[in-house]
Amino acid sequence: MSRALIIVDVQNDFCEGGSLAVKGGAEVAGAISEYVDAHHSQFDYIVATQDWHIEPGGHFADNPDFIDTWPPHCVAGTRGAELHPDLDTEYIQAYFQKGQFTAAYSGFEGILAPEDAVPTGDRKPGAMPLPDDAAAFTASTFADEDAIGLDDWLQSHDVEDVVIVGIATDYCVMATSLDAVQAGYSVTVVRGLTAGIAADLDDAYAEMELGGVDLA
């Protein structure tokens, strides 16, 4: 049995200074880096997800309700879609991009990004290597019938146990964790390595536990 860490959406737009900032996002980015540095040997694989919006339809709104509609964020190829600079990418082995043409909260809606379209090694802010036309490139990748989803990738690497951290606790972390349970994985969410939108996250934690997620 293999074990994987899934780092959910630790992106500039979801951290302080971003277009859809979550309080404590930058702090969580640094805390995840410290956790990975200390515990990477406990995982066979470490992967990350990214919101990667091209034309997500009604997901974006001029007057968002911050429940189902949101201000523009994590637009493909922009700095806001990049991983936060305090998140060390050294041990991340694969990236899964989601929400290209629709709202997508779960990492299990994402597809594997090509190696030349994601940050690797010692990344500097603003240095994410992208094709000249990132949106067109991602659109063609997303339409590829052979595109690899997160579940396919995890299964191909014999992963049965996943630990989930990231942003936001009550949206993408929760959706990813519940989908992971439904897909048959043993799932743990590390509360101290997430940041949520709501001031009170008790309902989100209760929904995750009810759905079969272990909270650490």
Round to whole Å and give the CA distance between 176 and 213.
Answer: 10
Could you tell me whether strands 159-167 and 111-112 are parallel, antiparallel, or unpaired per DSSP bridges? Answer: unpaired
Exposure string (b/e) for 77-109, b if CB count within 10 Å is 16 or more? bbebbbbbbbbbbebbbbbbbbbbeebbbbbbb
Catalytic residues: 9, 98, 172
Packed helices 174-182 and 202-210: angle between N→C axes, nearest 10 degrees? 10
Round to whole Å and give the CA distance between 138 and 149.
Answer: 14
- Supply φ then ψ for residue 153, to 5 degrees: -65, -45
